[in-house]
A and B are shown apart, each in its own frame.
Chain A
Amino acid sequence: MESRATRIGFGIAAALVLAFLWIPILIILAYAFNGSILQTWPVQNLTLHWFREAWHDQEVRSALWLSVKIGLISTAVALVLGTAASFAISRFQFFGRESVSFLLLLPIALPGIITGMALSSFYTFAGIGFSIWTIVIGHATFCVVVVYNNVLARLRRTSPSLIEASMDLGADGWQTFRFVVWPVLSTALVAGGLLAFALSFDEVIVTTFTAGAQTTLPIWILDTIQRGQQLPVVNAVVFFVVVLTVIPVIVSQRLTQDSGLLRRR
């Protein structure tokens, strides 16, 4: 439909933006092989030393494991709460509905430093000691929003008459859920869950206020950057994480693309 010139123009612009997005990442990946500790350009005497170092580093392992745990728990919490909220908001009209939907967006719309500071003074106020759960609560606030948004968008595109039809045909709530709602929702849940996990996994600002003596992976990275001693190890770890996440990202992408069945186009 677009003219040839438009298409070429958009193609070139898109390629340039992608280059902007990816050149720094390629540089990071290249620095994982840098022989020198100081990060100066260009990369010098290539080595695999840092991967070995990262692999054997106990701190890296425990930080990675803690981040994975927090990410999984926060995502699980977000999936439950976010789905429930999106159902309520999309299906029903009730007093205060607008305010609730506005409220749900707050954690992602308000700057992280405010969420972090507010939670940290709340914990102090309530005498709650720092633990993995204080971090999870902090992360869940914005993870819920992500799932909520994804599920809500999917529900908006699905006609409510599908559920009514299922009920009319004699299905109970569980059957309706299993055979009508779940197929529609599952891909949105995967997409929302993955994004929620990614956000939690990479979160620094809220975490600095809610972690106490615990070290998540981003906090370990921040500390290491500040120490300036082991930068290539950080790059090696990042390299590892990126490679590890290619698969789930591709899978989720596949899943979310195949939802054409119920699309209204």
Chain B
Amino acid sequence: MRKQHRHVLGWAAAALVVGALALVAAGCGGSSSSSSGGTTTNGGNTSGQASIGKGEGKLNLIEWPYYSDPSFAKKFTQQTGCVIQRKDAGSSNEMVALMRAGGGGGGGQWDLVSASGDASLRLIKGGDVQPVNVNLIPQWKRFIPIFKSPAHNTVDGVHYGVSVQWGPNVLLYNNTKIKPGPTNWNALYDSKYKGQITIPNNPIQIADAAFYLQHSNPSLGITDPYELNKKQFDATVNLLKQQKKLVKLYWNYDTDGRSAFANGDVSLGAIWPVDTLALQAKKVPVTEVIPKEGATGWADTWMLAKKAPHPNCAYKWMKYVTTPQVQAQQALVFGETPVNPQACPFMNKIQAGSCAKYHLNEPLSYYNTIKFWKTPIADCGNGKNDCMDYNAWQKAWTEITG
């Protein structure tokens, strides 16, 4: 007994000494960091730097897979001397996490992040990105108007990046196993397909269910799937809890969902056009549908990290990827749509008819059927501050999938 006491005492003493040392060390380091914290690569909260200087020789990107595909990125490196180091993220959450590691603002490691609408506002509010001077991006003026200063990347007239591409979330099914093919989102909630369904493992998926309820259950009064009050939110979460019994896999990376389709583990699911292209290229019998009610979608922005170590290369990259030719190339690599309509002829040159296939020539009214990802916040414009915010979405999603 006494011996044990000694052990505990010894242990405690060691832990104390060590803890104290650590705190001292941490304290010293902490103060030094706060003194240097105020400096950024350019002055204050004006609209970004005034001109693009000489490239720094390097560019570190946090990107959706293929957003700096060598097929078009190689030429950029040849032209500017900026060597790209990329980190592929699987979800918006991962992008935010990467940007915030090492003290936020990209941790002095990252220059640009290709954030979707559900991450971009979080990065702006969290102070992780800095203003971008769009006047230095010549093609910006030629963008489709809604992508020039969208609410998800422009706050109070200050731009925090440039839009790059957008696309829908699609319904994909194996056309040899599911006959007749579904035409409506209700397939994802139909017990007929139990154990064959895959959907993304992402809190923003709640919006997909809300979008479905908006059309199937008008009495809930949902008008925007990202602005849900408590009652609407609970109904949506309930639907997702029912759906869980049917789900085989919540995919973390679209390639996980893709290989589940390829290996016959699932035959119906919500996924991205890039996966449809990849699966069809490998002769997997899949068909993609965008139901007539529309779909949720994403609109991506290259955003400049607050502590970007290579801002000039970053500007050069934003300039480069918004040019019509590169816009067309990237669109066809990923299966998405450019924000610069001048890309249309270039798309058709690479693949005949692709401009129309990816809806680049649609009238503005078309965009109303796509509900672009955005960060849910409590203030949803009705003056009541009664919408469920992203933390609530995240907690609910853990509850659904846990």
Contacts and interface: CB of A to CB of B under 8 A. Distances in A.
B107 A38 contact: no
Interface in A108-157: 120, 122-130
Given A38-B259, A130-B107, A125 B29 contact: yes
Interface residues on A, range: 20 to 34
B110 interface: yes
Interface stretch (A9-17, A162-170, A222-230): A222-230
A213 B60 CA distance: 7
A212 interface: yes
A40 B14 contact: no
B255 interface: yes
B255 A127 contact: no
Contact of A223 (B18, B26, B87): B87
B14 A226 contact: no
Contacts of A97: 10
A105 to B, nearest CB: 13
Contact of A99 (B10, B25, B88, B254): B10
Contacts of B90: 226
Given A127-B33, A225-B255, A212 B10 contact: no
B107 A227 contact: no
A211 to B, nearest CB: 9
A130 B32 contact: no
Given A96-B14, A130-B107, A227 B60 contact: no
A233 B90 CA distance: 20
A83 interface: no
A129 B107 contact: yes
Contact of A127 (B15, B32, B66, B253): B32
Interface string B256-300: 001100110000000000000010001010000000000000000
A215 interface: yes
Interface in A206-248: 209, 212-213, 215, 223, 225-229
A128 B29 contact: yes
B102 A130 contact: yes
A103 interface: yes
Nearest to B85: A213
A227 B259 CA distance: 11
A95 B11 CA distance: 9
Contacts of A209: 101
A174 B194 CA distance: 72
A99 B11 contact: yes
A11 B117 CA distance: 60
Interface in B1-44: 7, 10-15, 18, 25-26, 28-30, 32-34, 36
Given A127-B32, A213-B85, A122 B26 contact: yes
B14 A213 contact: no
A36 interface: yes
B108 interface: yes
A120 B101 CA distance: 8
A249 interface: no
Contacts of A127: 29-30, 32-34, 36, 103
Contact of A226 (B26, B60, B253): B253
B210 to A, nearest CB: 28
A59 to B, nearest CB: 8
Given A38-B282, A125-B30, A99 B7 contact: yes
A100 interface: yes
B35 to A, nearest CB: 9
A126 B26 CA distance: 5
Contact of B262 (A38, A103, A212): A38
Contacts of B32: 127
Given A96-B11, A213-B110, A40 B103 contact: no
B67 to A, nearest CB: 11
A130 B10 CA distance: 35
Nearest to A37: B282
10 contacts: A95-B10, A103-B18, A127-B103, A129-B109, A213-B60, A213-B85, A215-B85, A228-B254, A228-B278, A229-B65
Interface of B: 7, 10-15, 18, 25-26, 28-30, 32-34, 36, 60, 65-66, 85, 87-88, 90, 101-103, 107-110, 253-255, 258-259, 262-263, 278, 282, 284
Given A127-B34, A129-B108, 14 more contacts: A38-B284, A39-B259, A99-B15, A103-B14, A103-B18, A120-B102, A123-B102, A125-B26, A125-B30, A126-B26, A127-B33, A130-B102, A213-B87, A228-B255
